Structure 1
Amino acid sequence: MKHALIITYYWPPAGGPGVQRWLKFVKYFRQFGVEPIVYAPENPNYPLVDENFSAEIPDDIKIVKHPINEPYRFAKLFSKKKTEKMSSGIISKKDSSAMEKLMLYVRGNFFIPDARVGWVKPSVKFLSQFIAENTVDVVITTGPPHSVHLIGMQLKKELNLKWIADFRDPWTTIHYHKSLRLNKTSARKHKELEASVLKSANIVTVTSPTTKKEFQMITDTPIEVITNGYDILPEITFKLDTAFSISHIGSLLSERNPEVLWKVLNEICTENETFKADLLLQFAGAVSDEVKQSLKKFQLDQNCTFLGYVSHSEALKLQHQSQLLLLVEINSAETRAIIPGKLFEYLAAKRPIIALGPKESDIEEIILETKSGKFFSYWSDAELKIEILKSYEAYKKGKLQIASEGIDKYSRSQLTQRMATLIKDV
């Protein structure tokens, strides 16, 4: 049995997608000969909380915690709403106030690589003592926040341990990196730290093929793609929505605003009153003001339901009962590597997916491979309109469904088996 020390910022009761990847690995590791030990902050500042995730932690897993000091706590004294949005990743380029610009500048240039960097030194000291007193065969760090990787790098340097660096998202090429108002010195330091981590780790794991290609330009360290996935759950009892529901699960950020879709829906509503009466747009999660304004501009606000953040179990039910599932990624070259975790839960729900994103997105390959829906670029308004009308016609006949295939390899159990193999071979 290999003992793996997993260093993560996000851990239950944190909500959202950041916590799920390693919570699920921990859940299944023992089936594949890995004994997990989790290290997480004692007093974190999580933007989202979902107590339901705590029930998935195996009862006798060793969980070690140590305090963290976070600047977001103090920033809230000046602007609580903006701080919470920034901490959640909602960074608006439109109408940014002087305070918001200042906060972004401070965040980007004084806290490198991120606002949790103050946890690195005390964690290295604490874990050095812990490792001396406990069996640890492999250290695993998972980011973002990428400062967690600096803990792993330092532990490897001081204790000569095997170390796997897991990147749930890219580092310097992630879409919001350019919004941090970095000066030249700070931008260079990010690049240097990224290269140091990639070159120092024994193995790097990433969640998308594009990130692997980007990192291969920086390091010769072995890189493995292990995507996110879905849990095989007991059958969910649900009834399909009677409305022609198009549901988006998760945050819809300011730059993730598919106006091409709103335009197409507006056109169809204008041309077909029955379609307008049947249409229901459902949003579960934070939705930026820009998105809401766009929906109003295209006269769709009366067809919208904003549910806010819902628990994971509620999100799963919503996915199963929706007529169509909407997946949206920012239209940018930097987001081609982003494969949202919800895509895999969408696959498990087996409802047709309408996805929008940049050309050459890794999302498109998975949707085509699994025959789970259709992918469109932001310039495909004619094709998108045809697909929406085709789906609506099938819905009216009670025949809107898909026959997806090959999704088993994205189950959490199979993905954990792959990760366990890396841990044993490192």
Structure 2
Amino acid sequence: MRKVLIITYYWPPAGGPGVQRWLKFVTYLREFNIEPVVYIPENPNYPITDESFLNEVPEGITIYRQPIFEPYRLANILSKKKTKRISSGIIETQDQSFLERTMLWVRGNYFIPDARKYWVKPSIKFLIKVLKKEVINTIITSGPPHSVHLIGLGLKKKMKLQWLADFRDPWTSIGYHKKLKLSRFAQNKHKELERLVLTSADKLIVTSKTTKKEFESITKKSIKVITNGFEPADNKGIQLDSKFTISHIGSLLGGRNPKNLWKVLAGLVNEKEGFKESLQLQFAGVVSKETMQSILEAGLESYTSYLGYVDHQKALELQRASQVLLLVEIDLEETKGIIPGKLFEYMAAKRPILGVGPKGWEVAKMVEDTYSGQIFKHQSESDLKSVILDWFLQYQRQKLTISSTNINQYSRRELTGKLAEYITWESY
């Protein structure tokens, strides 16, 4: 059985979508004759934790750990709340305090590529011994944080091995990058490190076709699209909400705020008989102040429930019981290749997906091809209203269902099969 070393920052008990990708790959790789060995930080400062993920770590997996110096712990002294939001990539642009602006400037210009960079050199030294001991000649690095890729870069320079760099998100084109108040030097340094990783790794893995196209303009190396995915769900016996619930599961940042959706819903509350008695907006996860204010101004606050962060199992239950599942992305050119991990769990829940995103959003084609919902641009209003009204009428008749097809291509096991094939494919 071939051994592969997986280097990742996020691992249980980390919460959120970032941890699930490699937790599930590790779970299934043995079925494809690959033995995963995992390397993670010993004392990470995760912005979100979910203890339930600890129960999903496969038995017998070899896990190596090394301490990491986390500057975010020092920043917690100044403001724990602001530090937590910045470390998780949640950056509000409105009403920033002097402290928050200063923290962003320091984060962007002193910690390149990110605040976990101090884990790089100790990890390289430690992993050289591990690779020799375990007789491993294939490594995989997963970012963000993209400093993890610098560990792969360092090992590649010192040893003969195959290196796959997995990008769960883009690097310099990610939405929050422009908010980090980067100096020209910092911008150029990010670009330089990005190019170095993309041209030094033997193979690249990305989660969207858009990111693949972007990286193809930088490197000639092989690039494979392997999206995130879902675990098969047993939806039998699920009791649907009695209300016309429109649920959003996960972070809803200010930039994603779908103002036209709130306007449409407010209009239906006033115009459509029975709508105000049935409507329930439900949010599980962080919701920005800007979004909450827009909901308040639209007169929808009394129809809204903010649940805060819930563990993964609860999130799955909420998805399967909701009448409609809301998916939103920032209305920018650079976000059209962002495919939220929740999309695939939404598909597995088999409830209608209502999406609002940028023009050319890659998600729109995926939803269309699987017949799993409807996607609209942020500027849409009449078409959006028409679909919501149609779904509401079906809900009233207890006939609101979705006949999605061809979603098994996004199951975690199927995706792991693609990964295993890519690992063993000789490209050099």
Place the TM-score, normalised by the shorter chain, in its bin: over 0.9
Residues of 1 paired with 2:222 and 2:6: CA distance?
19
CA contact (8 A) 2:235 2:320 kept: no
1:163 counterpart residue number: 163
1:90 counterpart residue number: 90
State the percentage of identical aligned residues: 55
2:126 counterpart residue number: 126
1:50 counterpart residue number: 50
Segments of structure 2 that go 5 or more residues without pairing to the other structure are none
Q: Which string of whole-angstrom CA distances, capped at 9 and with x for unpartnered residues, describes residues 318-373 of structure 1?
A: 11110000000011111111000000000001100000110111100100110100
Residues of 2 paired with 1:318 and 1:137: CA distance?
43
TM-score (norm 2): 0.98
1:267 counterpart residue number: 267
Q: Which string of whole-angstrom CA distances, capped at 9 and with x for unpartnered residues, describes residues 238-275 of structure 1?
A: 20000000000001111110111001101111213520
CA contact (8 A) 1:163 1:201 kept: yes
Q: Which string of whole-angstrom CA distances, capped at 9 and with x for unpartnered residues, describes residues 218-241 of structure 1?
A: 000000000000012445642000
2:108 counterpart residue number: 108
Residues of 2 paired with 1:152 and 1:29: CA distance?
20
1:346 counterpart residue number: 346
Residues of 1 paired with 2:93 and 2:160: CA distance?
44
Residues of 2 paired with 1:211 and 1:43: CA distance?
31
1:109 Cα offset (Å)? 0.4
1:137 Cα offset (Å)? 2.5
1:61 counterpart residue number: 61
2:294 counterpart residue number: 294
1:279 counterpart residue number: 279
1:239 counterpart residue number: 239
Segments of structure 1 that go 5 or more residues without pairing to the other structure are none
1:18 counterpart residue number: 18
1:404 to 2:404 alignment: yes
CA contact (8 A) 2:13 2:53 kept: yes
Residues of 2 paired with 1:184 and 1:272: CA distance?
53
1:377 counterpart residue number: 377
1:177 Cα offset (Å)? 0.3
Deviating more after overlay: 13-22 vs 128-137: 128-137
CA contact (8 A) 2:2 2:35 kept: yes
1:6 to 2:6 alignment: yes
1:256 counterpart residue number: 256
1:336 to 2:351 alignment: no
Q: Which secondary structure does the structure 1 equivalent of 2:163 belong to? A: strand
Q: Which secondary structure does the structure 2 equivalent of 1:40 belong to? A: strand
Q: Which string of whole-angstrom CA distances, capped at 9 and with x for unpartnered residues, describes residues 170-190 of structure 1?
A: 000000000000000000000
CA contact (8 A) 1:153 1:200 kept: yes
Residues of 1 paired with 2:163 and 2:233: CA distance?
32
Residues of 1 paired with 2:9 and 2:46: CA distance?
9
Query: Structure 1 403/110 Cα, relative in aligned 2: closer, same or farther at 3 Å?
Result: same
TM-score (norm 1): 0.99
Q: Which secondary structure does the structure 1 equivalent of 2:197 belong to? A: helix
Q: Which secondary structure does the structure 2 equivalent of 1:280 belong to? A: strand
CA contact (8 A) 1:372 1:402 kept: yes
What amino acid sits opposite 1:177 in the alignment? H
Q: Which string of whole-angstrom CA distances, capped at 9 and with x for unpartnered residues, describes residues 61-102 of structure 1?
A: 000000001111000101111111111221011011111010
Q: Which secondary structure does the structure 2 equivalent of 1:176 belong to? A: helix
1:297 Cα offset (Å)? 0.5
Residues of 2 paired with 1:384 and 1:33: CA distance?
47
Runs of 4+ residues deviating >6 angstroms: none
Residues of 2 paired with 1:237 and 1:118: CA distance?
49
Pairing of 1:206-245 with structure 2 (within 5 A): 206-235=206-235, 237-245=237-245
2:198 counterpart residue number: 198
Residues of 2 paired with 1:250 and 1:417: CA distance?
28
1:77 counterpart residue number: 77
Residues of 2 paired with 1:286 and 1:378: CA distance?
21
What amino acid sits opposite 1:197 in the alignment? V
CA contact (8 A) 1:108 1:186 kept: yes
Residues of 2 paired with 1:405 and 1:37: CA distance?
35
Residues of 2 paired with 1:172 and 1:289: CA distance?
26
2:360 counterpart residue number: 360
Residues of 2 paired with 1:235 and 1:178: CA distance?
41
What amino acid sits opposite 1:423 in the alignment? I
Q: Which secondary structure does the structure 2 equivalent of 1:360 belong to? A: coil
1:150 counterpart residue number: 150
The two structures, once aligned, show a CA RMSD in angstroms of 0.9
CA contact (8 A) 1:90 1:254 kept: no
CA contact (8 A) 1:255 1:330 kept: yes
CA contact (8 A) 1:2 1:137 kept: no
Residues of 2 paired with 1:25 and 1:232: CA distance?
15
What amino acid sits opposite 1:131 in the alignment? L
Deviating more after overlay: 387-396 vs 124-133: 124-133
What amino acid sits opposite 2:158 in the alignment? E
1:187 to 2:187 alignment: yes
Residues of 2 paired with 1:117 and 1:359: CA distance?
35
Residues of 1 paired with 2:260 and 2:40: CA distance?
41
